[in-house]
Amino acid sequence: MSEGYRAPTAGTQRVLDGLHSRGNVRAPSSFLPGVLARVGLQDAYWQQGTPIGPVYVAYGEGGVSAVRQTSSPAHFEEWYRARFGRPVTQVARPPRPLADVVEQRLGSDAQGEIEIDLRGVTAFQRAVLQKTMEIPRGEVRPYGWIAREIGRPGAVRAVGTALNHNPVPLLIPCHRVVQTNGRVGEYAFGSAAKRAVLEAEGASPDLLENLARRGVRYLGDTEDHTFCLPTCAGMHRRLAEPRFVTFRTPQQAVSAGYRACDVCRPALAS
Ligand SMILES: [Zn+2]
């Protein structure tokens, strides 16, 4: 008996008995791994199209466990076993609800509930990753914002490390976290990929870089006197209108009579 083996539960056993009783009815080759993954006996993965090309998405009993770009299925399987200590088997298609929700989260504004397996990460990493999931599509937040929001303002570098080890890039949108100076910065799939995903989501990386180069980290609305991070949904719309001013620091905004937007909470980004 190999280490990590768990005796099938009654429900699992029924599924396995059901499979056995299929007799010589031949299941599609992808069927068995898919079923075993659903009942928690074996992890499975499939190839999924994304704005930055195909990625491999793996899942098991705890939900989606990994998203990764590798040069071949064999490399993915090797990497998966090294990182998680268990094998993973390719299936042509994942179970329907999972396929739909992954598709939605990767490709549109609709954000269905998704189960992500974060059992292998520390409490700090989990806090970072969960906070990252709150960043809306089309917006970005600095590393320092995440650190402050989770109550660890001094841990900016550790936030970067936690995001680098994000097991499920794209699904947990670590691409929406940018450098504290506003530059787009690095990414697990490379900085060109980060720019491409942000562009596809409607957060203009060119605009972000342009503002960062000019030292602009906050925008103030000249009508209601609130100030925001540049991609805050409300502020982004106003960029088309000549009704905003720019600030380099929260202090500068506050002393000009502006108050922090309570949606993007920009004062936490300093
Ligand atoms: Zn705002």
pLDDT digits (tens, 9 = 90+) for 5-63: 344 444 444 444 444 444 444 445 555 555 656 566 689 999 998 888 899 999 998 89
- Residue 241 Cα to chain centre, angstroms: 31
Pinpoint the residues of the chain covered by CATH 3.30.160.70. 10-107
Catalytic residues: 174
Q: How many residues does the chain have?
A: 270
Contact 201, 99 (CB under 8 A): no
Amino acid at 46: W
Q: How far is the CA of 165 from the centre of ligand 1 (A)?
A: 28
- Residue 114 Cα to chain centre, angstroms: 11
Q: How far is the CA of 218 from the centre of ligand 1 (A)?
A: 9
Q: How far is the CA of 202 from the centre of ligand 1 (A)?
A: 16
Q: How far is the CA of 139 from the centre of ligand 1 (A)?
A: 10
Q: How far is the CA of 242 from the centre of ligand 1 (A)?
A: 17
Instruction: Examine the pLDDT at 160 and tell me if it is beyond 50.
Output: yes
Pinpoint the residues of the chain covered by CATH 1.10.10.10. 123-214
Q: What is the per-residue pLDDT for 25? A: 46
**The pair of three-digit structure tokens given for residue 141, joined into one six-digit string:** 């937040």
Instruction: Examine the pLDDT at 95 and tell me if it is beyond 90.
Output: no
CATH number of 10-107: 3.30.160.70
Q: What is the mean pLDDT of the chain?
A: 84
Q: What is the per-residue pLDDT for 181? A: 87
Q: How far is the CA of 220 from the centre of ligand 1 (A)?
A: 9
Pinpoint the residues of the chain covered by CATH 3.40.10. 216-270
Q: How far is the CA of 234 from the centre of ligand 1 (A)?
A: 6
Residues 6+ away with beta carbon under 8 Å from 235: 219, 221, 228, 229, 244, 261, 264
Q: How far is the CA of 229 from the centre of ligand 1 (A)?
A: 6
Mean pLDDT of 232-245: 72
Q: What percent of the chain has pLDDT over 90?
A: 57
Residues with CB under 5 A from ligand 1 (ion): 228, 232, 261, 263-264
Amino acid at 3: E
Q: How far is the CA of 226 from the centre of ligand 1 (A)?
A: 8
Classify residue 30 by burial, with Cβ atoms within 10 Å: 0-12, 13-18, 19+.
Answer: middle
- In the chain, count H helices and then E strands: 11, 10
Backbone dihedral angles phi then psi of residue 154, each to the nearest 5 degrees: -85, 0
Q: What percent of the chain has pLDDT over 70?
A: 79
Q: What is the per-residue pLDDT for 16? A: 42
Architecture of the domain made up of 216-270: 3-Layer(aba) Sandwich (3.40)
List the beta strands (DSSP E) in 15-71: 43-48, 55-60, 63-68
Topology given in CATH for the domain delimited by 123-214: Arc Repressor Mutant, subunit A (1.10.10)
**Does 269 or 225 have the greater pLDDT score?**
225
The residues with which 47 forms a beta bridge, in sequence order, are 56
